[in-house]
Amino acid sequence: MGRVRRAGLLAAAAAVPAGLAYRFALAYRVRAGYPRRHPPRVTPDVLGLPFETTTVPSAGVDLPAWFIPARGGAPGPGLVLVHGWESARDRTLPMAVFLHAAGYHCLTFDVRAHGANPPEDLPLTAGEFGLDTAAALDALLARPEVTAGGIVGHSLGGIGAILAAAADPRTAVLVASSTPSGPYRLTRQTFRLAHLPIPDPIAYPLAWLTTRVYLRPRGHVVREVSAADAIARYRGPVLLAHGEEDAVVPPAHMTRLAAAARAARGPSPGSAAPGDPAPVETLLVPGGQHSWLYEDPRYRRAVAAFLARSLGGPFDPETAGDLAAATPAERIPDAETQFEAVEDMPGGFRTLASVALPGATRRPGHADAADAGEGHQGHTAVPDEVLPGEPNPAPGFAP
């Protein structure tokens, strides 16, 4: 009987940290899974761009979008622009400014639960970024002005761009900036950004558990939303760009993505000669941060020239690069926010201790920018146990 009792006590002692880890994962999911919406504040005409208001149908949701024609609407290549977490389509307008100058049609849209879209009932993941980006590519290629389509994404939008490109061979070119390479590393990085005092021997297995718990309501598995896995399946031209001083998603993520893409293409990944694999290029912007790389003319030149080489026009690469570099692109004032849910955490042991408090695993009842002044009180607090857990047919920071 003594042995049985001791075994029971040992099992109970082991269950306590496991239970706390699972509770932490649930709390993380409700804290990080529901982006605060920031409706667009600026329209393309304010920046001198022609545009048409339209929508992108995606899995039962009509996503607000703008189509920005170039060269008077003459036929030519077009690009889908994908914003990042807690952002919106107007944050991509500085990109559209120089890409329009270089001759490219642009389609920019609000990812579900972002911008002018309503909130979602389930936590949002990179899988939904990929789903909506794929739908935007469909909408772009359906336009009579567009002869070929590429995708340009930033941060979580970069993951969405990679997932969509891997799923659709019509993607003629892919540009991803400041992009996380995989869900586990992204989750671990959010722990650091929140200043959680978790040593690596605990943080990495905790990130493993937290990522899986985060993805469960949508029915995703990790490999489905991994940029490193997806980029290995894409065979078109790739440009990966990163700020040298990115403290949100460190440049090592770009290195991992490039290695994954090149390893899948054989021994000569940098060659674009006939019969050789399409190029995989990288750009490390000196002094660059996580956002606003477009403010650097070297970034604008490199992106536009790469697109011209990959798409065969509409201008030659040198001309496209010159036009883009000479076109100023400045951030939208007061528009950029970076992971507010993480920044709002008190950090340190206070955040860890809060996991044990009542309500830690319930959705926050904050109001977001989209609700301000509209009499809406934000998300209703919903117990975690009533969140649907069955797989969703839709293809995650969010992992």
Tens of pLDDT, residues 52-82: 999 999 999 999 999 999 999 999 999 999 9
- Nearest CA-CA partner of 158 in 140, 141, 174: 174
3-state secondary structure of 118: coil
Query: For residue 314, what is the DSSP state?
Result: S
> Given this model, what pLDDT does residue 358 score?
59
Task: State both tokens at 231.
Answer: 């980029």
Tens digits of residue pLDDT in 314-357: 999 999 999 999 999 999 986 555 555 455 555 544 555 565 55
Q: Following DSSP, what letter does each residue of 329-352 receive, concatenated?
A: --PPTTT----HHHHTS--HHHHH
Residue 392: how many CB atoms within 10 A of its CB? 15
CA distance 216 to 224: 12
Across 135-139, 141-145, 239-243, 373-377, least confident range: 373-377
> Given this model, what pLDDT does residue 260 score?
97
CATH number for domain 44-325, candidates 3.40.309.10, 3.30.1280.10, 3.40.50.1820, 1.10.3720.10: 3.40.50.1820
Classify strands 52-58 and 76-82 as parallel, antiparallel or unpaired.
unpaired
Task: Give the number of C-alpha atoms closer than 13 A to the C-alpha of residue 82, restricted to the C-beta side.
Answer: 38
Across 159-173, 183-197, 303-317, least confident range: 183-197
3-state secondary structure of 52: strand
Going by pLDDT thresholds of 50, 70 and 90, the confidence category of residue 308 is very high
> Given this model, what pLDDT does residue 135 score?
98
pTM of the model as a whole: 0.85
Going by pLDDT thresholds of 50, 70 and 90, the confidence category of residue 251 is very high
CA distance 214 to 173: 31
Tens digits of residue pLDDT in 77-115: 999 999 999 999 999 999 999 999 999 999 999 999 999
Across 5-19, 38-52, 250-264, 384-398, least confident range: 384-398
> Given this model, what pLDDT does residue 198 score?
87
Look at the block and give the residue holding tokens 């992992």.
399
CA distance 304 to 176: 13
Tens digits of residue pLDDT in 24-46: 899 899 888 999 999 999 999 99
Residue 391 pLDDT exceeds 50: no
CA distance 166 to 374: 40
Residue 47 pLDDT exceeds 90: yes
- The domains of the chain are located at 44-325
Taking a C-beta distance cutoff of 8 angstroms, is the pair 176, 158 a contact? yes
CA angle 163, 291, 56 (to 5 degrees): 45
